[in-house]
Amino acid sequence: MLYIYILINKFKIMKKNYNLFLILVLCCFQMNAQTPCSQDNAAPITNIIYVNPERDNQNVAFDLVVDAYTEFSLTTITVSMATANLALLNPTGIISLYSDLGGLPDALLTSETITPTVVTEAPISTFAIYTVTFTFSTPAVLDNLAGATEATYWVGFNMGNLDNGDTGVTGGDIVAGQPYAVISDNTGGWELADPGDLDGTYTFEGSCLLLGVDEFTLNAISISPNPATDFINIELPSSNTTFSSEIYSITGQLVLKSNESRLDISNLNSGIYMLRVQTDNGVASRRIIKN
């Protein structure tokens, strides 16, 4: 009985360590270095960019630039809006995201009808001024992780007021990027606004995953074949001149260590292992399967 009791407790300890290792592995693979980030145009308000059918440009878009090796998960958009005759805004607005082609909005990536949070500000003349915050139900991911240069996206607005009169996003001088874009009356396609020195006043907020150059290089490490039976080959970018590798069992035990690019795993039991590669640019981890 005592022997069985010891075995049971030993199994519980092993199971606990196994679960802990799984949690650590999942954290390593799923936890991204996401940090809050934002992009805005905080220029003083000098004009109104109309976004209502009466002005024939109910669709207006502002550019959003994502840096190289970066993924921008856009969560909220805040704009300053104005309505003629102190009219109330519609309860919902449509936010659309577009790719860029030649400096203009191109393919529609995603679109959502959102009930925004609206804060009433002090009016300007006969115009009501509102601070309007749109929050996506699911963050809109703008992926430029593989891009060596910055990538441009466009954020489009479509929102009117309850009186069907003039509605607009307030505008100011361009701080960075390009002028806003509108749907052309002549072609039905997008065109940059005229005059070209005016941009909307807005803030795009979310979280950014920045893949530094070293990390991007590490991300290019190739493991083949995987699954494998006898050998696995490690291929690294030319920028990594030295490296060492370690293979750990699913319970966290070091089972193999090498400085070679070809690893003999024929003596390992079938199952899932973690390969840890240490290079002169950093550390990368990969899951491997032994048949």
Instruction: Indicate if 199 and 218 belong to the same structural domain.
Output: no
Evaluate whether residue 220 is within a structural domain: yes
Evaluate whether residue 38 is within a structural domain: yes
Q: What is the CATH number of the domain that holds 230?
A: 2.60.40.1930
Instruction: Indicate if 280 and 150 belong to the same structural domain.
Output: no
What pLDDT does 1 receive? 44
Q: To the nearest 10°, the Cα dihedral for 43, 47, 52, 57?
A: -80
Domain end position, chosen among 187, 210, 233: 210
pLDDT digits (tens, 9 = 90+) for 11-62: 344 444 444 444 444 444 434 457 889 998 888 888 888 876 666 667 899 9
Instruction: Indicate if 188 and 234 belong to the same structural domain.
Output: no
Domain end position, chosen among 210, 244, 266: 210
Evaluate whether residue 46 is within a structural domain: yes
Evaluate whether residue 250 is within a structural domain: yes
Instruction: Indicate if 242 and 197 belong to the same structural domain.
Output: no
Q: What is the CATH number of the domain that holds 76?
A: 2.60.120
Instruction: Indicate if 178 and 222 belong to the same structural domain.
Output: no
265-272 — which CB contacts under 8 Å span 24+ positions?
A: 265/228, 265/230, 265/231, 265/232, 265/290, 266/229, 266/230, 266/231
Instruction: Indicate if 53 and 191 belong to the same structural domain.
Output: yes
What pLDDT does 243 receive? 82
What pLDDT does 15 receive? 43
Instruction: Indicate if 93 and 136 belong to the same structural domain.
Output: yes
Evaluate whether residue 275 is within a structural domain: yes
Domain boundaries, position 149 = 34-210
Domain end position, chosen among 210, 226, 253: 210
Instruction: Indicate if 138 and 258 belong to the same structural domain.
Output: no
Evaluate whether residue 12 is within a structural domain: no
3-state secondary structure the chain: CHHHHHHHHHHHHHHHHHHHHHHHHHHHHHCCCEEEEEEEECCCCCEEEECCHHHCCCCEEEEEEECCCEEEEEEEEEEEEEEECCCCECCCEEEEEEEEECCEEEEEEEEEEECCEEEEEEEECCEEEEEEEEEEEEEEEEEECCCCCCEEEEEEEECCECCCCCEEEEEEECCCCCCCEEECCCCCCEEECCCCCEEECEEEEEEEEECCHHHHHHHCCEEECCCECCEEEEECCCCCCCEEEEEECCCCCEEEEECCCEEECCCCCCEEEEEEEEECCEEEEEEEEEC
Instruction: Indicate if 119 and 85 belong to the same structural domain.
Output: yes
The domain tally of the chain equals 2
pLDDT per residue, tens digit, the chain (291 aa), is 433 343 334 434 444 444 444 444 444 443 445 788 999 888 888 888 887 666 666 789 999 999 877 889 999 999 999 999 999 999 999 999 999 999 999 999 999 999 999 999 999 889 999 999 999 999 999 988 767 688 999 999 888 899 888 898 888 888 767 889 988 766 778 888 876 788 888 999 999 887 655 555 556 678 889 899 999 998 877 666 678 888 988 767 889 999 888 999 999 999 888 888 887 766 777 778 899
Sign, CA dihedral 9-12-18-19, equals: negative
Evaluate whether residue 17 is within a structural domain: no
Evaluate whether residue 20 is within a structural domain: no
What pLDDT does 240 receive? 66
Instruction: Indicate if 116 and 134 belong to the same structural domain.
Output: yes
Instruction: Indicate if 278 and 204 belong to the same structural domain.
Output: no
Record the tokens describing residue 45, joined without a space: 């308000």
Instruction: Indicate if 216 and 181 belong to the same structural domain.
Output: no
